[in-house]
Amino acid sequence: MVNSTMFRKEWRENAWKHILALVLLSAMGISLPFLFDWMSMIPIQFGGALGEAYQRQMSDFNLYMWANWYGKNLYQILIVYAVIIGMAQIAGEVGRNTAGFLFSKPLSRELIFRSKFISGAAAMITVMVVATILTYLAAMLAGRELPSLFLAGLVVNAAGLLVIYSLALMFSVVFDDQLKAGAAAFVVALVISVPGWIPGYGMYSLYRQMHAWPIYAGDGFQIPAMAVMLLATWLFYRIGLGRLLKKDF
Amino acid sequence: MHDLAIQTRGLSKRYSTSVALQDLDLEVPRESVFAVLGPNGAGKTTLFKILTGLVGSSSGEATVLGCQLNNRDTEFRAKIGYVAENPVMYGYYTALEMAGFCASLYPRWNHKLVETAFKRLDIPENKKIKELSHGQNSALALTLALGPEPELLILDEPGTGLDPIKRRDYFKLLMDQVVSLGGTVLISSHTLHEVERLADRVAFLNQGRLVMVKDMADLKTGEKRIRVVFQGRPPESVFNQAGIVRVEQEGSGYLLTVTENPHGVLEELSRYPHFALEIIDLDLEDIFLEYAHREEAPQNG
- ipTM of the prediction: 0.85
Of the candidates B75, B77, B91, which has its C-beta nearest A105's C-beta?
B77
Judged by CB atoms closer than 8 Å, whether chains meet at A108 and B72 is answered as yes
Q: Which residue of A has its CA nearest to B105?
A: A106
B88 touches chain A (CB under 8 A): yes
A33: exposed, middle or buried (Cβ count in 10 Å: 0-12, 13-18, 19+): buried
B301 touches chain A (CB under 8 A): no
Q: Of A212, A210, A209, A190, which is closest to residue A201 (Cα–Cα)? A: A209
A3 touches chain B (CB under 8 A): yes
Burial A213-228, CB ≥16 within 10 A → b, else e: bbbbeeeeebeebbeb
> What's the order of all strands across the beta sheet hosting B244-250?
B244-250, B253-258, B224-230, B274-281
Model confidence at A43: pLDDT above 80:
no
Q: Which residue has the higher pLDDT, B242 or A139?
A: A139
Of the candidates B75, B82, B91, which has its C-beta nearest A104's C-beta?
B82
A248 touches chain B (CB under 8 A): yes
Phi-psi category of residue B247: left, alpha or beta, with phi > 0 → left and psi -120 to 50 → alpha:
beta
Q: How far is B155 from chain A (nearest CA, A)?
A: 13
Judged by CB atoms closer than 8 Å, whether chains meet at A101 and B87 is answered as yes
B89 touches chain A (CB under 8 A): yes
Q: Which residues contact A123 (CB under 8 A, 6 or more apart)?
A: A10, A11, A14, A18, A85
Of the candidates A97, A98, A108, which has its C-beta nearest B74's C-beta?
A108
Q: Would you place residue A86 in the very low, low, confident or very high pLDDT band (cuts 50, 70, 90)?
A: very high
Judged by CB atoms closer than 8 Å, whether chains meet at A100 and B84 is answered as yes
A234 touches chain B (CB under 8 A): no
Judged by CB atoms closer than 8 Å, whether chains meet at A97 and B88 is answered as yes
Q: Would you place residue B2 in the very low, low, confident or very high pLDDT band (cuts 50, 70, 90)?
A: low
A105 touches chain B (CB under 8 A): yes
DSSP SS3 for A198: coil
Q: Would you place residue A71 in the very low, low, confident or very high pLDDT band (cuts 50, 70, 90)?
A: very high
Q: Which residue of B has its CA nearest to A249?
A: B54
User: What digits encode the pLDDT tens for the residues B10-57?
Assistant: 999 999 889 999 999 999 999 999 999 998 889 999 999 999 999 999
Model confidence at A41: pLDDT above 80:
no
Model confidence at A120: pLDDT above 90:
yes
What phi, psi does B253 have (nearest 5°)?
Answer: -110, -175
Model confidence at A235: pLDDT above 90:
yes
Q: Would you place residue B301 in the very low, low, confident or very high pLDDT band (cuts 50, 70, 90)?
A: very low
pLDDT value at residue B297: 63
pLDDT value at residue A44: 67
Q: Which residues of A touch B101 (CB under 8 A)?
A: 5, 9
User: What digits encode the pLDDT tens for the residues A6-19?
Assistant: 999 999 999 999 99
- Which one-letter amino acid corresponds to residue B102? C
Q: If you average pLDDT over every residue of chain B, what do you get?
A: 90
B71 touches chain A (CB under 8 A): no
Lowest mean pLDDT among A92-101, B154-163, B269-278, B289-298: B289-298
Of the candidates B56, B77, B92, which has its C-beta nearest A104's C-beta?
B77
Judged by CB atoms closer than 8 Å, whether chains meet at B102 and A108 is answered as no
Distance CA B40, CA A209 (A): 56
Model confidence at B233: pLDDT above 70:
yes
Residues B235-243 have a mean pLDDT of 84
Q: Which residue has the higher pLDDT, B196 or A94?
A: A94
Q: Which residue of B has its CA nearest to A14?
A: B92
Please give the angle made by the CA atoms of B209, B215 and B216, to the nearest 5 degrees: 105
Q: pTM for this one?
A: 0.88
Q: Would you place residue B254 in the very low, low, confident or very high pLDDT band (cuts 50, 70, 90)?
A: very high
Judged by CB atoms closer than 8 Å, whether chains meet at A104 and B106 is answered as no
Size of interface A-B (CB pairs under 8 A): 61
Can you name the residues that pair with B276 across neighbouring β-strands?
B229
Q: Would you place residue B72 in the very low, low, confident or very high pLDDT band (cuts 50, 70, 90)?
A: low
Q: Which residues contact B9 (CB under 8 A, 6 or more apart)?
A: B25, B60, B61, B62
Q: Which residue of A has its CA nearest to B50?
A: A248
Phi-psi category of residue B65: left, alpha or beta, with phi > 0 → left and psi -120 to 50 → alpha:
left
Residues B58-76 have a mean pLDDT of 84
Distance CA B178, CA B173 (A): 8
Percent over 70 (pLDDT), chain B: 96
Of the candidates A9, A101, A108, which has its C-beta nearest B88's C-beta?
A101
pLDDT value at residue A156: 95
Q: Which residues of A touch B77 (CB under 8 A)?
A: 104-106
DSSP SS3 for B210: strand
B53 touches chain A (CB under 8 A): yes
Q: Which residue of A has its CA nearest to B85?
A: A100
Q: Which residues of A touch B74 (CB under 8 A)?
A: 106-108
DSSP SS3 for A93: helix
Handedness of CA B282, B285, B289, B295 (dihedral sign): positive
pLDDT value at residue A52: 76
Q: Which residues contact B132 (CB under 8 A, 6 or more apart)?
A: B95, B123, B124, B140
Q: Which residues of B touch A108 (CB under 8 A)?
A: 72, 74
DSSP SS3 for B296: helix
B130 touches chain A (CB under 8 A): no
Q: Would you place residue B136 in the very low, low, confident or very high pLDDT band (cuts 50, 70, 90)?
A: very high
Judged by CB atoms closer than 8 Å, whether chains meet at A106 and B78 is answered as yes
Can you name the residues that pair with B24 across neighbouring β-strands?
B11
A104 touches chain B (CB under 8 A): yes
